[in-house]
Amino acid sequence: MAIENVLIEKRGRVAIVTVNRPDKLNALNIKTREEILAAFDELAGDAEIRVVVITGAGEKAFIAGADINEFAGMTAVGQRAVMKGRRAFDAMEDFPKPVIAMINGFALGGGCELALACDIRIASSNSKLGQPEIKLGIIPGGGGTQRLTRLIGEGKAMELILTGDMISAAEAERLGLVNYVVAPEELEAKTMELANKIAEMSPVALAMAKQSVKNAARLDLRAGVEAEVDLFALCFSSEDKEEGVRAFIEKRKPDFKGR
Ligand code: COA
């Protein structure tokens, strides 16, 4: 498969995946979604990479949603077939390393949903977020009704999904939909600062921590706490645990190897 719509840049321990269809505001057509999956598969197996940042090319958009042109004339059977394979949204969530959405403009529909499936979201102050599907006579289909509701609560999620209204980055921050809002010229520096800080941690512990936090939305409290105990104990099988504890005792910085 020729990779056309997704770029991968590696900066030390951090990889930046850029959805690259700026003339279409990085709208997710089928090919782009497949390429995102391929990019994440490559990065999952790259031991040098500990954190992934996903963003959109150009000045205007993170991702302006699914490619609406592919909906025209599409049947229910056809659409179901497109959606029933492995999905980019789930790939962010299942990815064994932290994923940060660097939101640099419109994050609408599937773009907002892709950001919701990431672990941390940082937005430029000129970004606009929303789930406008209702205006097309459809509903969010990339996990939006579930992940948005879990993240910001039913009342506000319902309002955004029923009205299709876009909200500002500042409002998104107020709702807890994004972690930080920064000036556009500071977006990359702020994102990389956070990504590099996380990338210094043990990759083993990062994977366990991500899985355990994700369990909060999947399991009831008792099962989640029990699973946390197992994941906690599993960290004790790593060389990184020994290194982290020794480094503390020896009053030095740990050097985690991901083993
Ligand atoms: N699917 C396909 N193409 C899209 C797209 C999408 N989701 N979003 C934007 N584009 C295309 C436009 O059709 C246009 O292409 P063209 O130059 O070939 O005509 C190009 O990207 C630029 O978009 P444009 O609408 O001219 O920019 P704008 O600044 O006037 O408006 C938006 C920006 C985001 C408000 C507007 O593009 C929009 O509403 N997009 C759809 C958002 C949406 O409903 N997403 C959910 C889909 S389920």
Interacting residues of 45 by C-beta distance below 8 A, sequence separation 6+: none
The protein residue whose alpha carbon is closest to atom 11 in ligand 1 is: 24
Same domain for 157 and 45:
yes
Residue 242 lies inside a defined structural domain of this protein: yes
Token pair, residue 19, equals 């959805």
Strands (E), 1-105: 6-11, 14-19, 51-56, 61-63, 99-103
28 lines ligand 1 (CB under 6 A): no
Same domain for 102 and 126:
yes
Please report, for the domain that includes residue 232, its CATH number: 1.10.12
Same domain for 229 and 187:
no
Q: Report the C-alpha gap between 82 and 118 in whole angstroms.
A: 22
101 lines ligand 1 (CB under 6 A): no
Across the range 8-21, mean pLDDT stands at: 98
Strand order in the sheet with 120-124: 6-11, 14-19, 51-56, 99-103, 120-124, 180-182
Q: Which domain holds residue 15?
A: 6-199
pLDDT at position 115 is 98
* pLDDT at residue 71 tops 90: yes
Across the range 134-151, mean pLDDT stands at: 97
Burial string for 28-37 (b: 16+ CB within 10 Å, else e) reads bbebbbbbbb
Same domain for 129 and 91:
yes
Which atom of ligand 1 approaches the CA of 61 most closely? 34
Same domain for 244 and 151:
no
Residue 162 lies inside a defined structural domain of this protein: yes
Task: Name the pTM for this structure.
Answer: 0.96
pLDDT at position 2 is 66
* pLDDT at residue 1 tops 70: no
pLDDT at position 84 is 84
Q: How far apart are the first and last CA of the chain?
A: 33
* pLDDT at residue 239 tops 80: yes
- Largest Cα–Cα distance in the chain? 66
Token pair, residue 111, equals 């773009």
113 lines ligand 1 (CB under 6 A): no
* Distance (Å) from CA 106 to ligand 1 centroid: 10
- Burial level of 218, CB count in 10 A (0-12/13-18/19+)? exposed
Same domain for 210 and 82:
no
Residue 219 lies inside a defined structural domain of this protein: yes
Same domain for 120 and 53:
yes
Same domain for 144 and 95:
yes
Residue 235 lies inside a defined structural domain of this protein: yes
The angle subtended at Cα 89 by Cα 27 and Cα 87, nearest 5°, is 90
* Tens digits of residue pLDDT in 119-137: 999 999 999 999 999 999 9
Residues of the chain with pLDDT > 70, as a percent, come to 99
**Main-chain phi, psi angles of 148, to 5 degrees:** -65, -45
Token pair, residue 26, equals 């990085």
Please identify which of the residues 9, 42, 48, 113 carries the catalytic annotation.
Answer: 113
Residue 150 lies inside a defined structural domain of this protein: yes
Please report, for the domain that includes residue 131, its CATH number: 3.90.226.10
Burial string for 106-132 (b: 16+ CB within 10 Å, else e) reads bbbbbbbbbbbbbbbbbbbebbbbbbb
* Distance (Å) from CA 90 to ligand 1 centroid: 24
* Distance (Å) from CA 213 to ligand 1 centroid: 34
Same domain for 91 and 18:
yes
* pLDDT at residue 211 tops 90: yes
pLDDT at position 36 is 96
Residue 29 lies inside a defined structural domain of this protein: yes
Q: How far is CA 254 from the centre of its chain?
A: 27
* pLDDT at residue 3 tops 80: no
71 lines ligand 1 (CB under 6 A): no
Same domain for 216 and 162:
no
133 among known catalytic residues: yes
**Number of structural domains in the chain:** 2
Across the range 136-161, mean pLDDT stands at: 97
* pLDDT at residue 86 tops 90: no
pLDDT at position 85 is 81
What mean pLDDT value characterizes the chain?
Answer: 96
Residue 259 lies inside a defined structural domain of this protein: no
Residue 61 lies inside a defined structural domain of this protein: yes
Same domain for 189 and 208:
no
Token pair, residue 257, equals 């190897």
Of 181, 199, 217, at which residue does a domain stop?
A: 199
Q: Which residues pair with 7 in a beta bridge?
A: 18
Closest CA to 224 of 212, 208, 238: 212
Across the range 220-239, mean pLDDT stands at: 97
Same domain for 164 and 84:
yes
**Main-chain phi, psi angles of 42, to 5 degrees:** -60, -45
Give the H or E element holding residue 42. helix 30-44
Across the range 228-248, mean pLDDT stands at: 97
